[in-house]
Amino acid sequence: MPASRPPIRAHPGKPFRTLADAAGDNQVMTIKCNLCRKKISFIASDLVAVVGPDWPVHIPPFGCSKCGKEYINVEFWRVQPEHLGRVAVRRPFKLVQKWRTEMLGDRR
């Protein structure tokens, strides 16, 4: 049976998780395009400054930068010690609009 898509509106008694919730849990957002298979990881606290703290985590913040489509899969995971120095993440560089890739744990 195929996976169901999340609802557009949250139930009043159980609101959606937001980027602020993910940033508070020190999570990393991995975005994968299901068409061209491009995979990029972002630290949730960095995305809060770009798209805002109230953004629902099940909705991708933007489409694929390689193919331009929106066949995006979003996954959140918690940083573990074995990820430091081995996982590349996109981080803001100087301005919020500029990003660069660096290894997780390397912050200059």
In this predicted structure, what is the pLDDT of residue 1? 47
Tens place of pLDDT per residue across the chain (108 aa)? 455 565 666 667 777 888 999 988 989 999 899 888 989 899 998 888 888 888 888 888 888 888 887 788 888 888 888 888 888 888 877 655 677 888 888 766
In this predicted structure, what is the pLDDT of residue 59? 83
Buried b (16+ CB within 10 A) or exposed e, 67-106: eeeeebeeebeebeeebeeebebbbbeeeeeebeeeebee
**DSSP codes of every residue in 51-94:** H-TT-BTTS-SS--TTT----EEEEEEE--GGGTTT-EEEEEES
